[in-house]
A and B are shown apart, each in its own frame.
Chain A
C-alpha cells in the first residue's frame, strides 16, 4: 500500500509544479547567492589590503618618533610613507590630497608613543586606509614592545607568517552555504503546514479520508513530498556553487544532514498542523519551532549550521559524522513521535 502515499506525494508535487510558485523559492535563493557574493567580494575588496591590487596609500609621517615609525611603515605592503619635517606640513599634504592619511608620532614623558592618526571621512577609501594604518601601527607596537622586553614578564608569541589570503574565505561556508541549504528545509516544513491546513480548511481532506488510505498515510504522503524537495534543492545549489567555483566538500554528508532536517521540520509541520489546524496559528508556531531549531542552536558547537560549515569547508571528521547521525536519529525520533500523535488524533475533530 506504500504506493498510495506516493500517489499523495505525486499530487502534492504536481500541484507545486503547476502553480510554478516554487520558482519563487529558487529566485529567492538566487537572490541570496547574488547578494552574498556581493558581500563576499565587496568585503574582501574593502578589508583586505592585499586584494586591492596595485593600490597603495600615501601616508604623511611627522613628529619626534617619526623615524622609528617610518622604519616599520616602509616594510609594510600597500603603504607609501613620506617623512615630513613637521606636523603642519604633513597636514597640508593631507589637505591638498597629496597624502591619504597623516600619522604624528610623539613620545610622551611616560615613555609611551602617542600616535595621532588622521584619515579622510566618508568614503570607501577610508576603510582601506584605516585597515592599513592599523596593520602598520600594530607592527610598530610590536617593534616598540621588543625594545622594552626586559620590563615584561612574558614575551608575546611570534606571529605566524602572513600569507595573502581571503579573510572572508570561511564566510561562504559558515553563512552562505548553510543559508542556501536550510532555506529549502524551512520552506518544506512550511508547505507541509500549508498543505494540511488548506485541505482541512476547504474540506478536501474528508474526500481523501473516505478512500481506503488511512489518515496517517495521507499525512505521510504530504510529508514525503515536502521532505524530498529540500535535498533535491540542496543538491541543485551545491551544483551551482561548484559551477561558480566554490568547492563544497562532503556532499553526501551534507545531503544526509539536509534530509534529516527536512524530515525533522516536515514532521514538526505535520504535528503543528494537527495541534493547531488553523493556518493563522500553525504557520507562526511552525516558524518559531524551525527558527529555534536552526537559528537558536547557532551558539552550540555542533549546531546544524556549524556542522554544515565544517562539512562544506572540508573540516569534517568522525565528530561531524556522528553529529549527522545524531541529527538523523533525532529526526526519526521526532517523526515517530509525530506518527504517535497522528494515531491519537481524531481527524474528524480537526
Chain B
C-alpha cells in the first residue's frame, strides 16, 4: 500500500516535471515575437547550409598555416615545385640580402640551402624538408616500377610486454602495415588521433554551445523582472521546476548528439560519451545563471564554462592513442568509437564518471538557491556561490556529504593539473603538483565550512569548528576512495598519476597505519581551515594556507619515502 502510494507520488512529481517541460517548450517557441523567431530561424538555416557546404571539402583543407614560412627559390629550381605545392611555404625570389633582412626564412641557391640562425628559420627548414619528403613520395607513386619506388615495406605490431611474458606476439594489441615511404608507418598511432576523427568529434561539441546559450537565457529570464515568481508559487517543487525546464534542453542535446552520431558514423558509444559532457555543460550553465546578475555576467560565465569544458574534453582527445591520460576526456571515447575501437565499461566509467557526478552536484547546488529569497536578489557571484553552498548545509553531517560531493571536481582539477604539468621535467613538476593537489583538496574540504560560517549556520566556538573539520575530513576521505577507480585504468603508470592518487600511500610496510594516516591528515588539515573560518574571512585564508602547507609537506614526505 505504502509502496503504491510512493510510486503514485513519484508519478505525480514526474507529471509536474513534464508539465513544466512542455510549458518551457511552448513558451520559448511562443514567447518570441514572430519577426524575431523568423530572423533567428533564417540565420540558423543559413548557417546550417554554410556548415554543410563547408564540410563538403575535406576538413584537411584548413589553411591556418598558409604561407607562414617564406622560401627564396628560383623559378627554375627543382625545389620550386615543392614550395609551390606546399601550403605553409611561400616561394619568394632568391636573394641573400632578403635572407639577411629576414624577408625570407630559407634560401635555396643551386644545391645549397641556407638559413638564418633563428628558431623560425630552423622551423622553416624542417617544414621545407618534410615538404620535400611528401613531394618525393608523390613523385614515386607515379613511377611504374613500384618495387623500385618503394623498396621497403613495413608492418608494425604493438605488443604489450606486461601481459605477454611467454609466447611472443600473443599480446599484440594492434598492427598496421604499410610502405615506409608512405610516411604512414604507424603515423596514425604516433600522431595520436586521426585528424578526421578529431574534427568529427569536435562536431559533437559545437551545437552544444548554442543549446546551452538558449538554456542559460531561459533560466536567467526567470530571474529578471521577477518572472519566475509565478512558477514558484505554483504547486510544484523547485526540483520539478528545474528538472522540467532542463529536460527539453537535455533531450535536445541528446537528440542532436544522436543525429550527429548517425551522420558521422558513430555508434551508441559516441552518444553515451557525449551525453555526460552535455549534462555537465547544462549544469554549469544552470548554476551560472543562478549566480549571474546580468546577461553580461551570464555570457562570461557561459563562455568560461564552454572554453574550460571544450579544452578539457578536446585537448586530451588529441592524444587518444598516445597516453592513457587522454581517457580523462569522454571525447577520447568518441574518437575511439569513430575509429571502430572498443571501449570497456571501466574506461567509460573513468571518463564519464566525473562528468555525471559533477553535473549532478552543480544541479544540486543550483537548485538549493532556486527559491524566492535568492532568485530575485542581486549579489556578487562569489557571495551567491557561498549562498548556494550554505543552502545545502542543513545539519553538521551535510559538511561531510558536501566534502564527498566535491570529489569529482577535485578529481577533475587534479587531472587537469597532471595534464598541464606532465610535460615538465619531473623534478619541477612533482613539487608544483603537490602544491596544486594540496590547494585543490583543502579548498574542497573547507569552502563550504567557510560558507556556513559566513551565513551563521553553525554555532560559534572552536569545538564546533574542530568537529566540522573532522566531519569534512571523513567525508573527503571516503570520497577519495572513489578515485581508486583511477588506478584500475592504468593511469598511475605515470609517476605523476601516482603522486595524485596515492599521496595517501597505498602499499608500504605498516598497512594499517598507512591507511589511517590519510584519514588523520584530511581531518587535521580540514580542522585547521575550519578553525580559521570560525573566526573571520581573514582567519579562513590564513587557516587555509596553513592547511595547504601541512598537506603539501605530508605528501612530499610520504611520496619521497615510498616512490
* A27 and B157 contacting across the interface, CB-CB below 8 Å: no
- Pick from B154, B169, B322 the residue with the most CB of A within 10 Å: B154
Q: Does A126 contact B (CB under 8 A)?
A: yes
Q: Which of B148, B218, B307 contacts A280 (CB 8 A)?
A: B218
Q: Interface code B399-430, partner A: CB below 8 Å = 1, 0 otherwise?
A: 00000000000000000000111111000000
Q: Which of A126, A281, A303, A317 contacts B32 (CB 8 A)?
A: A281
* A118 and B159 contacting across the interface, CB-CB below 8 Å: yes
* B157 and A157 contacting across the interface, CB-CB below 8 Å: no
Q: How large is the interface on A (under 10, 10 to 19, 20 to 34, 35 or more residues)?
A: 35 or more
B-chain residues with CB within 8 Å of residue A95 when the two chains form the complex: 161, 164-165, 168
* B308 and A28 contacting across the interface, CB-CB below 8 Å: yes
Q: Which of A32, A133, A138, A296 contacts B54 (CB 8 A)?
A: A296
* B129 and A162 contacting across the interface, CB-CB below 8 Å: yes
Q: How far is the CA of A202 from the CA of B50 in the complex (A)?
A: 35
* A165 and B122 contacting across the interface, CB-CB below 8 Å: yes
Expressed in whole angstroms, the minimum distance between the Cβ of A96 and any Cβ of chain B is: 9
* B158 and A167 contacting across the interface, CB-CB below 8 Å: no
Known: A187-B299, A191-B299, A288-B210. A310 touches B147 (CB 8 A): no
* B296 and A194 contacting across the interface, CB-CB below 8 Å: yes
A-chain residues with CB within 8 Å of residue B132 when the two chains form the complex: 157, 159-160
Q: Which of B154, B221, B300 contacts A22 (CB 8 A)?
A: B300
Q: Which of A38, A118, A198 contacts B420 (CB 8 A)?
A: A38
* B47 and A292 contacting across the interface, CB-CB below 8 Å: yes
Q: How far is the CA of A112 from the CA of B323 in the complex (A)?
A: 34
* A285 and B296 contacting across the interface, CB-CB below 8 Å: no
Q: How far is the CA of A160 from the CA of B135 in the complex (A)?
A: 12
Q: What are 15 residue pairs bridging A and B, where the CB atoms are less than 8 Å apart in the complex?
A: A22-B300, A24-B303, A25-B303, A38-B420, A95-B164, A114-B153, A123-B493, A124-B322, A141-B152, A153-B144, A169-B119, A170-B69, A183-B307, A284-B210, A313-B120
Q: How large is the interface on B (under 10, 10 to 19, 20 to 34, 35 or more residues)?
A: 35 or more
Q: Which of A41, A144, A309 contacts B423 (CB 8 A)?
A: A41
* A298 and B63 contacting across the interface, CB-CB below 8 Å: yes
* B123 and A137 contacting across the interface, CB-CB below 8 Å: no
Q: Interface code A268-280, partner B: CB below 8 Å = 1, 0 otherwise?
A: 0000000111111
Residue of B nearest to A44 (CB): B423
B-chain residues with CB within 8 Å of residue A306 when the two chains form the complex: 63-67
Interface-lining segment among B37-45, B263-271, B453-461? B37-45
User: Assuming A170-B68, A287-B210, what are 11 further A-B pairs, CB within 8 angstroms?
Assistant: A28-B307, A91-B168, A117-B185, A138-B181, A191-B296, A275-B35, A280-B221, A281-B37, A289-B43, A296-B50, A296-B54
A-chain residues with CB within 8 Å of residue B108 when the two chains form the complex: 160
A-chain residues with CB within 8 Å of residue B179 when the two chains form the complex: 141
Known: A140-B152, A160-B128, A299-B57. A170 touches B88 (CB 8 A): yes
A-chain residues with CB within 8 Å of residue B538 when the two chains form the complex: none
Q: Interface code A126-164, partner B: CB below 8 Å = 1, 0 otherwise?
A: 110011011001101100110111011110111111111
Q: Does A197 contact B (CB under 8 A)?
A: yes
B-chain residues with CB within 8 Å of residue A195 when the two chains form the complex: 295-296
Summed over the interface, the residue pairs from A and B with CB atoms below 8 Å come to a total of 362
B: residues with CB less than 8 A from A are: 28, 31-33, 35-37, 39-40, 43-44, 47, 50-51, 54, 57, 61-70, 78-79, 82, 88, 90, 102-103, 105-106, 108, 111, 113, 115, 119-120, 122-123, 125-129, 132-133, 135-136, 139-140, 143-145, 147-161, 164-165, 168-169, 171, 173-174, 179-181, 183, 185-187, 189-190, 206, 209-210, 213-214, 217-218, 221, 224-225, 292-301, 303-304, 307-308, 311, 315, 318, 322-324, 380-381, 419-424, 490, 493-494
Residue of A nearest to B312 (CB): A35
- Pick from A112, A119, A170, A280 the residue with the most CB of B within 10 Å: A280
Q: How far is the CA of A202 from the CA of B225 in the complex (A)?
A: 7
B-chain residues with CB within 8 Å of residue A315 when the two chains form the complex: 67-70, 90, 105
Interface-lining segment among A12-20, A74-82, A231-239? A12-20
B-chain residues with CB within 8 Å of residue A108 when the two chains form the complex: 153
